[in-house]
């Protein structure tokens, strides 16, 4: 065959000896459609984008495999074992499967509510260099919260599909009893699109969903206060930005690190950082700023992270203002970072960017269908059981005849047809009757089956009514979410900061520092009076029915914390209040601090150097001891939520700068006296506390105070050596009003 002549337009192509090279031309559009588009769609639909249950396929395959392995209630097993079993559903390599498991684990700390209970080194989400151990060294099982993922999976609540080789089936979605899509953070990069979903507190998500089910005009911001991140930090509250995210699914929020200043060592300790960064990135940036001379106040910075948690230590030079330095570092380093939200979720196989309202609508619709399928499945099973019992009932009306039919039947295969003909029952009923043991044909067995028939008819009627009435399905969804919240909700890890310093750093006017007297009234009026004005002025003026709650002496540049009945604390500097005279009513704190309607001040204290602790005494007899340093913040004035537990009304708050004996009194006029050293200082503000006083059902605690501020004389009568105790009845000589001052605490019930 003659060789084709070479032309300028067609350069000569190399020939393989014995073969003739063949080139097939294909339009680029056709290549994209046939080769690239299927790959792109596979990445979008089957890999990178989460679905309405809050999981990607890799998450779902891993968790379902662990469920089949009995790891929901069993003991831990080697991670390598789980990885190998997961390959039956996930055709990826073991490294990819194990990395998925690491992200879902408690040890790694990437999720607010981890799904894998881990043992061993799983690395940390806040460190890029802290690598996780190999799968052969670690052990795993499922966390208890996974009960809410698989509880209804055997009741036909979700569809199942064949795995990649058709040897077994797997669920297309997991029937989550709560909106996990809003609780578990998820991020993924597909082809031409991406997804970035932040997590929200489980309790807030459940409350919001329940409120939205009851009223679709519900204001989400009132119950869903903002994202929550497992690494903690502070969320700078921006109502406009959050509203945009809730409506469109796109936007960003700012998160910054939390820190404390150790005056004795002249060291700043950073103990919580933004979710989007790592300790190494922060160290690298600070080192660069110090090397280039942009930051001169730092003498050394090191990573002191250990088994107790994250800690970055910054050694300061002498005379450095830690607040100003951290304000600069927040602006120039990842100590303050933004989280960009992109709520891109697969709905029926199609990616959609949705706001929180749309996500709730889709989840509610999907969950409603799951619950209806469960109810329908249960109803059908009960109907099948009832059908069998009705056939049995026909036989039991004349047992002798049934026995006669069976005895007179020559062939085994004719027993079923003869029973069907003799009693007018179908084949399924006849087979069920034929399998009954002779010992069960007694009066007791017959009566139980009749009773079961009546109960089944009632249950079936109730299930049918549930299917016909959407409100009953809605009540089921609400009831299940309330149970989930009660079992698994946890305090918010990321502190919501409602006011922050975002303005550019500038030199401030020198604030004069001089002695002042502080007065707080029962109705929330606050006065700051100079000693001279106090000497020259007359009696204190209060509104009718109002009076002095507490007073103290301090200086004009001090900081003060105001705790309210809404579990919130307001921090402000005293120089922000005007000096006034005793003859004036004073500043009304709810208006001055921008409190919510009906919110009132319960307690105030001077922050000082954030030493000591606060005692919160609740009506139910519990007392929580929280370190004052938990309320340390950077900004000049802000509102912090979750100041203390909301499980029981607080009756008294005390500030302890040293160990003291505390008296707790109930409405039964019983009292206990205990040493504050019996209570451990907690670093979680919303801790529910330790039971100090055991109460009868109709009584509550009415006040608590330091012993020296009470009229109690016979301490031995009321002293407890171990907690809790019922206490002793107060003797007449021990009764009396307690004295209050700003540094020791307040008795909210006496107001």
- Residue 77 sits at φ, ψ, to 5 deg, of -130, 165
Contact between 180 and 198 under an 8 Å Cβ cutoff? The reply is no
d(CA 58, CA 330): 37
Residue 588 annotated as catalytic = no
Q: Name the DSSP letter for residue 511.
A: P
Q: In what order do the strands lie in the sheet with 298-303?
A: 258-262, 267-272, 312-316, 298-303
User: What's the gap between Cα 641 and its chain centre?
Assistant: 15
Give the three-class secondary structure for 195: strand
> How far apart, in whole angstroms, are the C-alpha atoms of residue 109 and residue 123?
9
Phi/psi-derived region of residue 319, left when phi > 0, alpha when psi is between -120 and 50, beta in every other case: left
User: Which helix (H) or strand (E) is 261 found in, with range?
Assistant: strand 258-262
CB 217 within 8 A of CB 193: no
**Distant-in-sequence, close-in-space partners of 500: CB < 8 Å, separation ≥ 6:** 236, 237, 635, 638
Separation CA 448–CA 111 (nearest Å) = 50
Per-residue b/e over 124-141, b at no fewer than 16 CB within 10 Å? bbbbeebebeebeebbbb
Q: What is the DSSP string of 580-608?
A: --TTS--EEHHHHTTPPTT--EEEEEE-T
Separation CA 65–CA 60 (nearest Å): 8
Q: Identify the CA nearest to 364 among candidates 486, 204, 213, 198.
A: 213
Contact 47, 190 (CB under 8 A): yes
Spatial distance between the Cα atoms of 595 and 564, rounded to a whole number of angstroms: 9
CA gap 645, 634 in Å, rounded: 23
Can you give 68-121 as a three-state secondary structure string?
HCCCCCCCCEEHHHHHHHHCCCCCCCHHHHHHHHHHHECCCCCCCCCCEEEECC
| 194, 195, 196, 197: CA torsion to nearest 10 | 180
Catalytic residue among 137, 261, 275, 610: 137
Give all strands (DSSP E) within 295-347, no chain letters: 298-303, 312-316, 336-342, 344-347
Q: How far apart, in whole angstroms, are the C-alpha atoms of residue 339 and residue 638? A: 22
- Taking the chain, what is the end-to-end CA distance rounded to the nearest angstrom? 110
- Nearest Cα residue to 218 out of 60, 360, 325: 360
User: What is the β-pairing status of strands 312-316 and 186-189?
Assistant: unpaired
Q: Are 630 and 642 in contact (CB under 8 A)?
A: no
Q: Which of 311, 248, 240 is nearest to 282 (CA)?
A: 311
Any idea which residues carry the catalytic annotation?
A: 137
């Amino acid at each position: 065959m003659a060789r084709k002549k070479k032309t300028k337009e067609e350069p000569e192509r190399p020939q393989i000896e014995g073969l003739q090279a063949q080139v097939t031309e294909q339009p680029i559009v056709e290549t994209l459609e046939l080769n690239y588009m299927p790959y792109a769609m596979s990445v979008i639909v089957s890999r990178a984008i989460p679905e309405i249950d809050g999981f990607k396929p890799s998450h779902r395959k891993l968790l379902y495999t662990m469920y089949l392995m009995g790891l929901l209630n069993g003991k831990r097993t080697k991670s390598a074992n789980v990885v190998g079993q997961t390959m039956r559903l996930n055709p990826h390599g073991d490294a990819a499967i194990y990395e998925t498991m690491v992200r879902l684990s408690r040890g790694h700390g990437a999720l607010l509510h981890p799904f894998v209970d881990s043992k061993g080194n799983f690395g940390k989400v806040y460190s890029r260099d802290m690598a996780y151990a190999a799968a052969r060294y670690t052990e795993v099982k499922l966390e208890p919260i996974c009960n809410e993922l698989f509880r209804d999976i055997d009741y036909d609540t979700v569809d199942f599909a064949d795995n990649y080789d058709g040897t077994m089936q797997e669920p297309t979605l997991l029937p989550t009893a709560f909106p996990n899509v809003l609780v578990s953070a998820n991020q993924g990069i597909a082809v031409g699109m991406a997804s970035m979903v932040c997590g929200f507190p489980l309790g807030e998500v459940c409350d919001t969903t329940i409120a939205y089910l009851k009223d679709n005009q519900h204001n989400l911001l009132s119950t869903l206060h903002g994202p929550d991140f497992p690494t903690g930090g502070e969320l700078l509250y921006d109502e406009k930005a959050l509203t945009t995210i809730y409506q469109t699914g796109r936007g960003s929020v700012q998160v910054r690190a939390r820190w404390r200043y150790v005056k004795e060592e002249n060291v700043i300790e950073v103990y919580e950082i933004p979710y989007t960064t790592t300790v190494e990135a922060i160290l690298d940036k600070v080192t660069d700023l110090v090397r280039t001379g942009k930051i001169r106040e730092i003498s050394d910075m090191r990573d002191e992270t250990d088994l107790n948690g994250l800690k970055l230590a910054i050694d300061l030079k002498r005379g450095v203002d830690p607040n100003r330095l951290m304000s600069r570092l927040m602006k120039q380093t990842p100590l303050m970072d933004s989280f960009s939200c992109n709520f891109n979720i697969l709905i029926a196989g199609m990616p959609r960017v949705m706001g929180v309202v749309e996500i709730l609508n889709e989840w509610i619709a999907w969950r409603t269908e799951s619950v209806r399928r469960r109810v329908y499945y249960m109803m059908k099973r009960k109907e099948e059981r009832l059908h069998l019992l009705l056939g049995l009932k026909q036989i039991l009306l004349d047992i002798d005849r049934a026995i006669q039919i069976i005895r007179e039947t020559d062939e085994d295969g004719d027993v079923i047809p003869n029973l069907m003909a003799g009693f007018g029952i179908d084949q399924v009923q006849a087979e069920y009757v034929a399998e009954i043991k002779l010992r069960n044909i007694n009066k007791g067995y017959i009566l139980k089956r009749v009773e079961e028939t009546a109960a089944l008819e009632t249950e079936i009627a109730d299930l049918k009514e549930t299917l016909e009435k959407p409100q009953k399905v809605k009540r089921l969804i609400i009831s299940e979410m309330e149970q989930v919240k009660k079992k698994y909700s946890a305090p918010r890890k990321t502190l919501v900061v409602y006011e922050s310093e975002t303005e550019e750093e500038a030199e401030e006017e020198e604030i004069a520092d001089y002695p002042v007297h502080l007065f707080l009234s029962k109705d929330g009026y606050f006065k700051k009076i100079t000693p001279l004005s106090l000497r020259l002025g007359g009696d204190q003026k209060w509104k009718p029915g109002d009076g002095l709650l507490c007073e103290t002496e301090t200086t004009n540049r001090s900081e003060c914390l105001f705790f309210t009945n809404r579990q919130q604390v307001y921090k402000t500097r005293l120089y922000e209040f005007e000096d006034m005279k005793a003859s004036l009513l004073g500043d009304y704190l709810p208006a001055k601090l921008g409190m919510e309607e009906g919110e009132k001040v319960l307690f105030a204290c001077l922050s000082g150097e954030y030493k000591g602790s606060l005692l919160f005494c609740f009506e139910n007899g519990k007392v929580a001891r929280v370190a004052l340093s938990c309320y340390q913040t950077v900004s000049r004035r802000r509102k912090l939520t979750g100041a203390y537990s909301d499980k029981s009304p607080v009756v008294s708050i005390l500030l302890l700068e040293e160990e003291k004996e505390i008296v707790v009194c109930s409405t039964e006029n019983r009292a206990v006296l205990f040493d504050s050293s019996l209570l451990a200082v907690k670093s979680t503000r919303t801790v529910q506390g330790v039971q100090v006083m055991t109460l009868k059902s109709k009584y509550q605690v009415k006040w608590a105070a330091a012993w020296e501020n009470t009229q109690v004389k016979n301490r031995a009568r009321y002293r407890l050596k171990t907690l809790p105790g019922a206490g002793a009845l107060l003797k007449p000589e021990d009764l009396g009003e307690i004295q209050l001052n700003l540094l020791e605490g307040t008795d909210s019930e006496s107001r």
